[in-house]
């Protein structure tokens, strides 16, 4: 008898007791597996579930061996690639970077631990399909992918069916639908009755298709903030009890019931044909950008310069009366990046400070906080108050396209009076507010106001500088 395909996508902030509503479904094997977008088991993990680890972003790739060794090879049998690399709000990875990390870390782990390997999990946008096609093409038959991992969100079951049929035909591999729900992002909010109808039709389709190996409804969060913009009516449980939607998800499926009675169900056979980058077909393509569980707060850091750089994060000091004190001597999170490289740097939501090239000043500061007390959004800006050592940009990653900063190097045109040689010998533009190296530099103030402007960066403090916000507690930072 084939096991149930149903699983749980488990948010990192769910508490141990959150498993209780699912106890009966786990005991009866209606729910058989769980993933949490991470490589560590949640607290209170039920013995009746299979755990499936996933490397969320490129930042965690180097830790795959360490994490999986902790879990133990006998305790997991599948592993999932990067989470939504085609989505700027998630892994946000250029294909070339993903290919390099796949070869360097993922494939050696597969050889060592012997797991079945899932592709990077892509969104149901056209960009997601194209990203995955390019990824497999660049690996030239050496991706060693055993199944394709997909995310889908929408209101129409037929569109879900069309999407899965197309992706299976394109890649000719078993499908894992690791995220799906009845929702839009910013559009119509479905009623509970509409969600239940969608759910019943979708589950019947998924259970009836042999090429669909596993799936997970997006609704196991206990914190509405961890629904990632998915309509909360999709929640499986609330206040320790299954919702109506949860009861449908946890009841025995028609297909599974038939399998129990006849004992004739068979395991899905793995496809053997090589995945090829086929031309995209015309069909009812959705343009909803899929959304995973709220990602860990932090900074997507990119080196846009032409040389390797090490970046440091400085968490502010606080002087006890509610005002921030700049930190100059306790840097954190040294992050080395080669030219063109990008990585995600996870930080606590409480972080309020900056990131800069190296540890010295003068330097360009990208200032930010990840969860403002007023609205819990991430906020950030560019500051030249402690000097300038190169351009920088800060961007929202929640799809709002908010951004600020500048990309043109302004050092060459600066007057000699505005320049200052740093202790490492690098020529920079001096501080506009002053520090222990000297007072404020008026030539620097005048020059930067003319070529950059207060709107793009703080030059003398005050107001008039655009500040970028991102509601997912993540910001993109680029140094040029």
Each domain of the chain, given as residue ranges in start order, spans 6-262, 298-479
Q: Which CATH superfamily is domain 6-262 in?
A: Glycosidases (3.20.20.80)
Residues 197-247 pLDDT 10s: 999 999 999 999 999 999 999 999 988 878 888 999 999 999 999 999 999
The pLDDT of residue 407: 92
| pTM of full prediction above 0.85 | no
Rounded to whole angstroms, the Cα distance separating 371 from 393 reads 20
Closest C-alpha among 5, 54, 288, 278 to residue 168? 278
pLDDT for 320 = 41
196 sits in which H/E element? helix 192-208
CA dihedral 200, 205, 209, 215 (to 10 degrees): -50
Sequence length of the chain is: 480
| Matching fold, domains 6-262 and 298-479 | no
Q: What is the pLDDT of residues 123-153, one digit of tens each?
A: 999 999 999 999 999 999 999 999 999 999 9
- Coil, strand or helix: which one is 304? coil
Q: What are the Cα distances from residue 249, in Å, to 25, 28, 198, 204, 219?
A: 9, 13, 11, 11, 10
Task: Give the model confidence (pLDDT) of 427-450 as tens digits.
Answer: 999 999 887 778 889 999 999 999
State how far the Cα of 465 lies from the Cα of 462, in Å rounded to an integer: 8
d(CA 309, CA 331): 15
pLDDT the model gives residue 229: 86
pLDDT at 293: 44
For 298-479, CATH gives 2.60.110.10
| Buried-state track 372-396, b at ≥16 Cβ within 10 A, e below 16 | eeeeebbbbbbbbbbbbbbbbbbbb
Of the candidates 179, 156, 187, 159, the one whose C-alpha atom is nearest the C-alpha of residue 227 is 179
User: What pLDDT is stored for residue 255 in this prediction?
Assistant: 56
Q: Answer with the residue of higher pLDDT: 253 or 160.
A: 160
pLDDT value for 254: 62
Confidence band of 326 (pLDDT split at 50, 70, 90): low
User: Looking at residue 273, what is its pLDDT?
Assistant: 42
Over pLDDT 70: what percentage of the chain?
88
The whole-chain average pLDDT of the chain stands at 87
Task: Evaluate if residue 13 carries a pLDDT over 90.
Answer: no
């Amino acid at each position: 008898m084939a096991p149930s395909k149903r699983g749980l996508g488990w948010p990192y902030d769910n508490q141990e007791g959150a498993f209780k509503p699912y106890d009966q479904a786990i005991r009866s094997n209606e729910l058989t597996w769980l993933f949490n977008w991470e490589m560590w088991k949640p607290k209170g993990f039920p013995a009746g579930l299979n755990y499936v680890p996933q490397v969320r972003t490129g930042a965690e790739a180097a830790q795959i061996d360490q994490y999986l060794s902790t879990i133990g090879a006998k305790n997991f049998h599948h592993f999932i690639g990067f989470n939504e690399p085609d989505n700027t709000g998630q892994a946000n990875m250029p294909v070339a970077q993903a290919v390099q990390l796949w070869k360097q870390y993922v494939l050696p782990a597969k050889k060592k631990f012997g797991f079945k390997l899932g592709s990077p999990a892509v969104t149901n946008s056209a960009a997601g399909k194209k990203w995955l096609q390019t990824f497999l093409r660049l690996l030239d038959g050496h991706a060693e992918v055993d199944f394709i991992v997909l995310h889908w969100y929408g209101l129409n079951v037929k569109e879900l069916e069309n999407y899965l049929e197309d992706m299976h035909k394109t890649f000719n591999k078993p499908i894992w639908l690791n995220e799906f729900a009845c929702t839009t992002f910013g559009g119509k909010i479905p009623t509970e009755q509409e969600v239940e109808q969608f759910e019943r039709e979708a589950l019947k389709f998924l259970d009836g298709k042999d090429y669909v190996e596993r799936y997970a409804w997006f609704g196991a969060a206990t914190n509405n903030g961890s629904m990632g913009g998915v309509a909360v009516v999709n929640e499986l449980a609330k206040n320790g009890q299954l919702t109506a939607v949860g009861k449908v998800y946890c009841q025995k499926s028609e297909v599974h019931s038939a399998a129990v009675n006849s004992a004739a169900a068979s395991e899905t056979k793995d496809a053997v044909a090589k995945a090829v980058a086929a031309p995209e077909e015309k069909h009812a393509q959705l343009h909803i950008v899929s959304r995973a569980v709220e990602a860990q707060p932090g900074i997507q850091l990119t080196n846009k310069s032409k040389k390797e750089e090490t970046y440091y994060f400085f968490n502010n000091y606080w002087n006890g009366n509610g005002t921030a004190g700049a930190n100059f001597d306790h840097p954190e999170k040294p992050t080395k990046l080669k030219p063109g490289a990008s990585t995600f740097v996870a930080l606590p939501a409480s972080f309020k400070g900056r990131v800069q090239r190296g540890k010295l000043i003068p330097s360009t500061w990208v200032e930010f906080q990840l969860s403002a007390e007023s609205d819990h959004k991430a906020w950030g800006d560019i500051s030249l108050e402690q000097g300038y050592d190169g351009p920088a940009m800060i961007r929202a990653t929640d799809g709002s396209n908010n951004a600020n900063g500048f990309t043109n190097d302004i050092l060459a045109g600066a007057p000699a009076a505005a320049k200052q040689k740093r202790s490492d010998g690098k020529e920079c533009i001096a501080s506009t507010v002053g520090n222990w190296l000297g007072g404020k530099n008026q030539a620097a103030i005048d020059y930067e106001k003319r070529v950059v402007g207060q709107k793009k960066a703080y030059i003398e403090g005050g107001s008039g500088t655009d500040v970028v916000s991102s509601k997912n507690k993540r910001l993109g930072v680029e140094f040029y």
